[in-house]
């Protein structure tokens, strides 16, 4: 687990995501092999995508505005909960 404090950076700064990519026992992972899940459009969707990571945007209540949804590049990556992420990842 990487926190803002341990990375000395806060989302959406790339440093926090780069730190997370390097925190695996087997060594650093390429961004395209890692998914980030969160509920904030800029911090949890666009920031990791800018580094090549897959990003899932959680919308538990299904209330994301149409303006937000127009910004989401891949609507398949808007999920209701973590179970949905698991299903998508195992299908690919």
Output the pLDDT for position 73.
77
Helix ranges restricted to H, 43-91: 47-50, 66-71, 82-91
Output the pLDDT for position 49.
94
Half-sphere exposure of 60 (CA within 13 A, CB side): 6
| Whether the model pTM is above 0.75 | yes
Domains and CATH numbers, the chain: 4-91 (3.40.50.1000)
**If 0-12 CB within 10 Å is exposed, 13-18 middle and 19+ buried, where does residue 47 land?**
buried
Arithmetic mean of pLDDT over the chain: 87
Output the pLDDT for position 5.
86
Q: CA angle 18-1-32, nearest 5°?
A: 40
Q: Is the pLDDT of residue 92 over 70?
A: no
Q: What is the pLDDT of residues 13-45, one digit of tens each?
A: 999 999 889 988 778 899 998 889 998 999 999
Output the pLDDT for position 43.
93
Q: Is the pLDDT of residue 47 over 90?
A: yes
Residue 22 near residue 10, CB atoms below 8 Å: no
């Amino acid at each position: 687990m990487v926190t803002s404090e341990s990375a000395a950076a806060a989302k959406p700064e790339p440093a926090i995501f780069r730190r997370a990519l390097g925190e695996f026992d087997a060594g650093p992972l390429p961004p395209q092999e890692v998914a980030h899940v969160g509920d904030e459009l800029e911090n949890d969707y666009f920031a990791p995508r800018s580094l090549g990571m897959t990003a899932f945007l959680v919308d538990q209540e299904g209330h994301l505005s149409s303006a937000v949804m127009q910004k989401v590049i891949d609507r398949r990556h808007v999920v209701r909960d973590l179970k949905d992420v698991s299903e998508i990842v195992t299908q690919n």
